Structure 1
Amino acid sequence: MQDIVDDIDRRMQHLVAQDDCAPGSTEHNRRFSFFAYTYEASWLQKEEQLYAVLNQDLRSRSTGRFKLWMPFLYHLTCALCSLPDVADTVFRGMNKLPATWIVDGTASLFFPGFSSTSTKEQVARNFAAQAGVEGVVLKIKVVNAKDLKDVSWFGAGEEELLLSPNMEFVVVNPLYDRNGIRYLDLQQVPKNRIWS
């Protein structure tokens, strides 16, 4: 993890030299948080990337692991609050539905970690198709997702909207098939305590 922090720090020093993003400033902390979350180290496997480890720890609901992440989560949440809310329909491809989900519309669903979604349906379809018959595309109407394209490590090419941990959703259309891929339609339940 230290290699990741060192690499991000070197890149942040380059940004500081280019503009008025002073070390220790709110803007510096904001950019560092965004870069750290979206960063991908070429020498690490996908499941070893910072965002993957963070989300795995959030999903595990381990108090000890959560406490380790609290300083970073504070800065990342503050940074995300600085972005405008985006209301849109987004898509998320999954290998399979979590066994704990009740998808008949009688219970709320929660994503315990940060969740990446795409405004491009085909991205989610491709991901779900890789899983075969278990794959599913979540079609989600959201009211306060965050658009990371202007702050992401990857730049403006990203068509990603990020969802906060513990957002609540309801099923508005049960599982159905669309051109050989299963879909589940969800609607976010707005909560003032998420993001803003």
Structure 2
Amino acid sequence: MTTKGKKEEGITQRYLRITDIAKEPLDFLSPICGYEKMPLVSLEEAVEKLVNLLPTIQSHAYIAKQKCKKPADGLSPDESASIMLYTMGWEPLDECLYFVLNDTLRSANRQKLKPWFLYLRLFLNGLLRLPLIRDVVHRGIRMDLSKEYRMGETIIWWGFSSCTTALNVLQSAQFLGKTGTRTMFTIQCESGRDICNHSYFSSEDEVLLLAATQFKVIGYLDQGDLHVIHLKEEPSPFPLLQPVPLVSSSNDSTTSKPAVSQTKSISSKTDQTSETFSSVNLASKPAITSVQPKPLKTFPTSQPTNLFRINFFYFLLTASSL
């Protein structure tokens, strides 16, 4: 695939991930659990039970593993490759990993998740070792979903949710454009993960929100064909995505170490400390060896809220021109 062809394919796959919101059931399903009891294994072993669902998964896993020999963020090759595999898209779509995984997570039948347990265990271990993202992010769709998101309601997105920090990405012709019926979600997220360093298509930013993330609808702006819905991530009283014994891995092999939690704000491009969101504070087993966390700069905890307010007023000032 040429560089231009890969870029176009990357845009297509990213569009499919960012705009699949209409598939969310917006209902309270059973918690996602079972994978947390599984061992941490190699990517090759993690995808073995998925072959019946995804016939070409082993070939794609091989490519991902070859491209992740020196991964960023201190992840192991297997952890990094599991994230890259999620971002890879292939046809037919109903045999593509991210499409089938999210469809399964949104199903009320939790038995369908069993073949995914080993992969989810590895995938989440990699994601949760990346720095936290506390920032305002966006996603959208070329539909009117305003009637499904009422002010003050609590909703849950059961699938993994791809978002962007750049409004211009959503406004581009390849995504939502500036005309026609559109719904744009502006989200104050507290536990997103920046997966750019581990994406198969790394030219654009992508923040991934974990499966079973809970939100409250705190604002709505109607500008004719453009509907802007404001969501704020909020903790659930009980974990909906069950905790895993988070371990740290060297770049050569997986070893039991406590993971280092960090928080990153994309808008300021700097680390900041934060309270770890209850569903992602997952270092539940005693560590064999300790890891010294890197010093983090601290900022006022109100910064994400201020950023959210700035974005709200931005919409009030500019929505009429979208």
> Structure 1 length normalisation: TM-score?
0.80
139, 149, 155: which one aligns with 1:109: 155
Structure 2 alignment gaps of length 5 or more: 1-53, 236-276, 283-322
What do the CA deviations read for 1:75-102 (whole angstroms, capped 9, x no partner)?
A: 1110101100011111111244669944
Whether the aligned pair in 1 keeps the contact of 2:68 and 2:77 (CA below 8 Å) is no
Query: Is 2:185 aligned against 1:185?
Result: no
Structure 1 alignment gaps of length 5 or more: 21-25
- Note the 1:49-128 alignment, pairs <5 A: 49-96=96-143, 101-105=148-152, 107-126=153-172, 127-128=175-176
What do the CA deviations read for 1:32-77 (whole angstroms, capped 9, x no partner)?
A: 2112111123xx1445421011111111232121112111111111
Whether the aligned pair in 2 keeps the contact of 1:128 and 1:181 (CA below 8 Å) is no
Query: Is 2:84 aligned against 1:31?
Result: no
Whether the aligned pair in 1 keeps the contact of 2:105 and 2:159 (CA below 8 Å) is yes
* Farther off after superposition, 58-67 or 76-85: 58-67
Whether the aligned pair in 2 keeps the contact of 1:58 and 1:66 (CA below 8 Å) is yes
The CA deviation at 1:10 is 4.1
The CA deviation at 1:13 is 3.8
The answer for the alignment partner of 1:176 in structure 2 is 222
Whether the aligned pair in 1 keeps the contact of 2:60 and 2:85 (CA below 8 Å) is no
Equivalent residue letter for 1:193: S
The answer for the alignment partner of 2:269 in structure 1 is none
Shift in CA distance, 161/10, structure 1 to aligned 2, threshold 3 Å: closer
Q: What percentage of residue pairs aligned between the two structures are identical?
A: 25
Q: Figure out how many residues of one structure are paired with residues of the other and give that number.
A: 184
RMSD between aligned residues: 2.8
Larger radius of gyration: 2
> Structure 2 length normalisation: TM-score?
0.51
Shift in CA distance, 11/94, structure 1 to aligned 2, threshold 3 Å: closer
The answer for the alignment partner of 2:198 in structure 1 is 151
Partners of 1:166 and 1:60 in 2: CA distance: 12
Residue 150 of structure 1 aligns to a residue in which SS? helix
| Aligned structure 1 segments of 4 or more residues deviating by more than 3 angstroms | 13-16, 45-48, 95-102, 125-132
Equivalent residue letter for 2:204: E
